[in-house]
Amino acid sequence: MIADIQLPASLKVGAGARFALPDMLSVLGAQRPFIIADPIMQELGVVDTFVAMLNEKQIPSAVFANVMPEPDDSSIVAAVESVKQHNADCLIALGGGSAIDSAKAIALLASHGGQMRDYKVPHVVTQQSIPIIAVPTTAGTGSECTRVTVISDSASHEKMLCMGPGLMPKAAIIDYELTLTVPFRVAADTGIDALTHAIEAWVSKKANPFSDQQAMSAMRLIAPNLLKACKTPEDHEAKEAVMLGATMAGIAFSNASVALVHGMSRPLGVHFHVPHGMSNAMLLPTVTQYSLEAAPQRYAACAQIMGLIDDSADIKACHEALMVFLNKLNQELGVPAMSEFGIDKVHYDSITALMAEQAIASGSPANNPLVPEKDALIALYQQAYR
Ligand code: NAD
């Protein structure tokens, strides 16, 4: 099997890496950068720091700081126009997955026109757009290193998955210091998202020796550090480990795939406004329990790689350790049950068939070790609600 591996051309990784931004721009030959930022980055003064850093090098920049959390296609329209007017030759995406995904969509539409729904899977985005330097401020999505953007359709309320080599950022700055201001809930949700990426890439039918190495490293970094990173954010070692793990998990899934958890999570998120990482967390234990039998060795290895159990333990004990860990992680990170989150059961029941169809249409469930038919998916949604 030949794996098709894609990565950004350049990564700056480590504390203070953000100060390498002007150098990165000059390597790209970019002179008219446009910053696409999460509003919180403006509030926290990070956008001003970036603009000042560029001004010092006589690089004029423009800013759009109106990124919508879990963006939809209408939220990026104004930015597409501004980017065209500015004649931008590089986008700097500053924020969590929402800012980076918005920047990918803005670059694509500003360069090639059309609507985001024209680009959703099974379409493959091959055309190159305005280059992006991705600067994540959450330790979660790994979008800085993925050939993916997730944009909702404001008309149909579908969370559209768009994929292809043209969506890979040209460069990324992985500076965990930018995550030190992330509140507990966001750190927990984004961290579970990253762990889910690593697990799903590892068990995916599209896993390959390259993605396996990234997934293993990500699990080793995230599993023992996630609780510490959320509960004691002043623990820089834990924050750095989870940040690096999140990027590696992004590389892993972008070069393998995600699977059933993500397939089911997107409809749940869009219909009930559950943050992406939290909807993954709500589903991860149920989907893992369901899938164990189809990839027993791989799931057993997960428990061992994460350091949950001795390497000599048998498969059953490893599976038990994994399930205990995932359930306890949700508990310790305060992941609410769907009813506690306010998901109305009657409304939920009325759209589980639709969510199952949307999950299947995204293609992700087909990469799971055990591929459910629509009825089995509906049953899994029911189980996860409980
Ligand atoms: P996010 O970007 O929506 O941010 C979550 C919240 O945290 C926001 O309110 C934001 O303002 C705040 N925030 C971000 N950084 C902060 C900081 N440093 N300090 C304080 N607050 C901060 O959340 P996310 O989980 O990073 O991204 C979610 C989006 O990414 C979803 O739309 C999801 O579908 C998508 N996603 C994309 C990929 C991909 O490969 N492209 C992968 C997974 C998820």
Convert the pLDDT of each residue in 316-329 to its tens digit.
Answer: 999 999 999 999 99
Coil/strand/helix, residue 171: strand
* Cα separation, 274 vs 329, whole angstroms: 18
| Contact partners, residue 93, CB within 8 Å, separation at least 6 | 36, 37, 99, 100, 102, 103, 104, 132, 133, 134, 135, 144, 169
Tell me, what's the pLDDT at 351? Answer: 97
pLDDT band at 153 (very low <50, low <70, confident <90, very high): very high
Peptide bond into 122 cis (omega under 30): yes
Cα 98 to ligand 1 centre (Å):
5
Q: What is the mean pLDDT of residues 27-51?
A: 97
Backbone dihedral region of 94: left (phi > 0), alpha (psi from -120 to 50 degrees) or beta? beta
pLDDT band at 157 (very low <50, low <70, confident <90, very high): confident
Nearest to 99 by CA among 127, 125, 126, 76: 76
| Pair 299, 318: CB distance under 8 Å | yes
pLDDT(100) > 90? yes
Q: Which residue minimizes the CA distance to atom 24 of ligand 1? A: 97
pLDDT(386) > 90? no
What's the CATH class of domain 10-179? alpha beta
Instruction: Extract the tokens encoding 384.
Output: 């996860």
Q: Among 18, 40, 270, which residue has the most ligand 1 atoms within 8 Å of its CB, making it the best to mutate?
A: 40
Cα 238 to ligand 1 centre (Å):
19
pLDDT band at 258 (very low <50, low <70, confident <90, very high): very high
Q: Which residue minimizes the CA distance to atom 2 of ligand 1? A: 96
**Which percentage of the chain shows pLDDT scores above 70?**
100
Ligand 1 atom nearest 250 alpha carbon = 40
> What would the pLDDT profile of 183-215 be if each residue is shown by its tens digit?
999 999 999 999 999 999 999 999 999 999 999
| Pair 169, 129: CB distance under 8 Å | no
Q: Is the CB of 190 under 6 A from ligand 1?
A: yes
* Cα separation, 144 vs 132, whole angstroms: 9
The CB density around residue 10, as the number of other CB atoms within 10 Å, is 16
pLDDT band at 252 (very low <50, low <70, confident <90, very high): very high
Q: Is the CB of 40 under 6 A from ligand 1?
A: yes
Tell me, what's the pLDDT at 158? Answer: 86
The CB density around residue 164, as the number of other CB atoms within 10 Å, is 18
Three-state secondary structure along 116-169? HHHHECCCECCCCCCCEEEEECCCCCCHHHCCEEEEECCCCCCEEEEECHHHCC
Q: What is the mean pLDDT of residues 120-134?
A: 96
* Cα separation, 333 vs 179, whole angstroms: 17
User: Token pair 């750190």 is at which residue?
Assistant: 187
Instruction: Extract the tokens encoding 235.
Output: 């623990």
Q: Is the CB of 137 under 6 A from ligand 1?
A: yes
pLDDT(17) > 90? yes
Ligand 1 atom nearest 96 alpha carbon = 2
Tell me, what's the pLDDT at 250? Answer: 98
Q: What is the mean pLDDT of residues 47-71?
A: 97
Q: Is the CB of 97 under 6 A from ligand 1?
A: yes
pLDDT(44) > 90? yes
Residue 317: in which H helix or E strand, if any?
Answer: helix 315-332
Instruction: Extract the tokens encoding 207.
Output: 């896993």
Tell me, what's the pLDDT at 1? Answer: 80
Instruction: Extract the tokens encoding 174.
Output: 């992985």
Ligand 1 atom nearest 269 alpha carbon = 34
Residue 306 phi, psi (nearest 5): -75, -5
Tell me, what's the pLDDT at 159? Answer: 87
Residue 269 buriedness (CB in 10 A; 0-12 / 13-18 / 19+) = buried
Least confident of 157-166, 168-177, 241-250: 157-166
| Pair 222, 241: CB distance under 8 Å | yes
Q: What is the mean pLDDT of residues 116-135?
A: 97
Q: Among 46, 144, 157, 186, which residue has the most ligand 1 atoms within 8 Å of its CB, making it the best to mutate?
A: 186
CATH code for the structural domain at 184-385: 1.20.1090.10
Q: Is the CB of 166 under 6 A from ligand 1?
A: no
Domains in the chain: boundaries? 10-179, 184-385
Nearest to 103 by CA among 75, 141, 61, 140: 75
| Pair 80, 110: CB distance under 8 Å | yes
Cα 37 to ligand 1 centre (Å):
11
Tell me, what's the pLDDT at 304? Answer: 98
**Which percentage of the chain shows pLDDT scores above 90?**
98
pLDDT(70) > 90? yes
Backbone dihedral region of 127: left (phi > 0), alpha (psi from -120 to 50 degrees) or beta? beta
Tell me, what's the pLDDT at 146? Answer: 98
Ligand 1 atom nearest 266 alpha carbon = 34
Q: What is the mean pLDDT of the chain?
A: 97
